[in-house]
Amino acid sequence: MVELHTISDNHAHKRNEGTELNLDWIDDIYVNLNAVERRTKTITTRRAVKKANQAAWLLKAVTCIDLTTLSGDDTVERVKRLCNKAKFPVSRHLLEELGLPNITTGAICVYHEMVETAVKALEGTNIPVAAVSTGFPHGLSPMSTKLAEIKASVKAGAKEIDIVITRSHVLTQNWQALYDEVKAYREACGDAHLKSIIATGELATMRNVAKASMISMMAGADFIKTSTGKESTNANLNVSMIMVRMMREYLEQTGFKIGYKPAGGISKAKDILGYQFLMKEELGNEWLQPDLFRIGASSLLGDIERQLEHFVTGRYSAANRHPIG
């Protein structure tokens, strides 16, 4: 039997209240990229999990997935199917063999147009709907439009809002503008939780990644997220290490726990283990729970199911036997 511990409250810790903008703190941020790379290269080699232990890690990952569809050809029926998969992400026969009750994914993530559909499809569950917003993925809409989009998604029932920052604020070192922007987004969210997408692949340097992460937290972000999934470079362990270290520093300075969401390009079960190991080693077991760790993915779930099938039966099944929507 696989032992799996979950929590029922999507956000069980005190919410980040933000801080005043502290430019001295930002100026003191440096990144030793060589040290980061040395550290990340050993994350998956120093810890080996196999058989039942690996199955437990993968099942935990399922509970942290923001099951996502962000395509131009999204339809109501596709979103409904995705929501049903979020409610029953792992085949019943696998869970029975593992001796486990049903689990669910961490959230469903959609464009604003599909928020009401997703909310209705998830009625009676604790699965929140996350809406990408603020001119996702490029974030170049007028500010008034961005704020209106956030408010519309919250009104439609979204409990989480994934915003995109204006990259030019980072590239021009206009930290006040970035802080003011994210703070305005946080206020527009009201009770909905804010995930700040840093778009790491478009920020030029790792130091910019670190500073943009810290500014977002200072402005009140509940989560920081690597990517939109639309950039040429998305989530990887190097940027994750830098962002997680900023989260740890922010916790030490303020006492507020910030969540982390890698997104984009995470499609294999073996890949997500590295992110889980990183969270455990840098921040502890609490950051393996869905209130502080989310994974922006779609095809990942299908591969996790294939690995679980192999654990239970000793055979790999065809990928089309584990549809995600």
Strand partners, 260: 224, 293
The pLDDT, as a whole number, for residue 11 is 54
Q: How far apart are CA 155 and CA 275, in angstroms?
A: 33
The pLDDT, as a whole number, for residue 8 is 39
What tens digit of pLDDT does each residue of 191-233 get? Answer: 999 999 999 999 999 999 999 999 999 999 999 999 999 998 8
* DSSP secondary structure of 124-135: TS-PPEEEE-SS
Domain boundaries, the chain: 23-318
* DSSP secondary structure of 170-200: HHTT-HHHHHHHHHHHHHHHTTSEEEEE--G
The pLDDT, as a whole number, for residue 45 is 84
Could you list the active site residues? 162, 225, 261
Amino acid at the residue 170: V
What DSSP character marks residue 228? -
Which residue positions in the chain have pLDDT lower than 70? 1-12, 319-325
The pLDDT, as a whole number, for residue 9 is 44
The pLDDT, as a whole number, for residue 2 is 54
The helix (H) or strand (E) run that includes residue 108 is: strand 107-110
Q: Would you state the structure tokens that stand for residue 77, as one six-digit string?
A: 């029926």
CA distances from 324 to 79, 121, 150, 234 (A): 11, 16, 27, 21
**Backbone angle region of 190, left / alpha / beta, with phi > 0 → left and psi within -120 to 50 → alpha:** left
Record the pTM. 0.94
**CATH fold of the domain at 23-318:** TIM Barrel (3.20.20)
Q: How far apart are CA 243 and CA 197, in angstroms?
A: 11
Residues in the chain: 325
Handedness of CA 132, 274, 285, 86 (dihedral sign): positive
Q: How far apart are CA 240 and CA 234, in angstroms?
A: 10
Q: How far apart are CA 123 and CA 50, in angstroms?
A: 37
Q: How far apart are CA 213 and CA 195, in angstroms?
A: 11
The pLDDT, as a whole number, for residue 6 is 43
CA distances from 130 to 56, 84, 138 (A): 26, 16, 18
First-to-final CA distance of the chain = 28
Q: How far apart are CA 17 and CA 143, in angstroms?
A: 22
Distance from chain centroid for Cα 213 = 14
Q: How far apart are CA 226 and CA 260, in angstroms?
A: 8
